[in-house]
Amino acid sequence: MAYTLNLYLKAAFLMALLGAILVGIGYLIGGLMIAFIFLIMAFIVNLIFYFFSDSMVLYSTGARIVSEAEAPRLHRIVERVAAKAGIKKPKVAIVNSPQPNAFATGRGPGHAVVAATTGLLTLMNDDELEAVFGHELGHVVNRDVLVATIAAAMASAITWLAYVVFWIVLARGRNGGEIALAFATYLLAPLTASLIQLAISRSREYLADYTGAKLTGKPQSLISALTKIENYIMSGVKLDAPQTTASLWIANPFRKGITSDDVLEWFSTHPSTKKRIERLKQVAKEMGIYIM
């Protein structure tokens, strides 16, 4: 309970920080109404993605919805995990790729799609597959597409406002100090918003790991699956999908050589596999399962 509370509090703090930056830039322009207008505009743009995210993601990743007759093993496992989560069984899709990976998308428990690559289906045993889809349905249960949409809308609004501030100050020909402040805002506000957005993404991955481990009762299988996926990604096995989909997958399919102590992790959509495994071992211990 304390673990999940900390994750929720962290996400709430990061969202509040995005809001504070948005309000601050609105103040620089001279009115909070401007900031609010930009936020509404950003929400409209991102809500379009939110409502059509499943079809857009399926198209961009090359995922194909499959029937039970086509993929009985995958359907059986997804159905079992969905029953444990107490939600409607999502649609099931397959991506033709040798890299083992998986994702979930959709508006929520009633409108979800989960997908696995052919590499994942080949490499994983049934327990590992169940653990992977426990993680993915954790995203569905926790409504992470909605959380990501809100964070993206706020980050977009901040970026647009930072550009507006810079050009307004330049057009008015104000003194060098104001121009320098506007330029700093132009550079740092979007970067800061992006870093916060990525931190939210990483915190939701930890939460999905936790939720999946609790749903399936198999944290050791999720550790095993993440280790296998990591090894394949680091060995150079490619996934043919846009890099903009990186945050969707259970492991970043485009990551190269980021360690748990690397500052570059700040710019990553996912925590390092090493950190995820360390936390999963703590979760397992809470469940009375001891993993070396």
Enumerate the active-site residues: 136
Locate 281 and state its tokens: 């071992």
Q: Which residues contact 9 (CB under 8 A, 6 or more apart)?
A: none
Contact, 140 vs 268, CB < 8 A? no
Provide the pairing of β-strand 91-95 with 111-117: parallel
Bridge partners of residue 92, in order along the sequence: 114
Residue with tokens 């485009």: 254
Q: How many Cα atoms sit within 13 Å of 15 on the Cβ side? A: 16
Burial degree of 225 (CB within 10 A; 0-12, 13-18, 19+): buried
Q: ∠203-221-135 over CA atoms, to 5°?
A: 35
Q: ∠39-23-142 over CA atoms, to 5°?
A: 60
End-to-end CA distance of the chain: 23
Locate 98 and state its tokens: 């040798």
Sheet holding 102-108: strands in order across?
A: 64-65, 91-95, 111-117, 102-108
Task: Pick the closest to residue 118 from 102, 137, 139 (CA basis).
Answer: 102
Calpha distance 7→206 (Å, rounded): 8
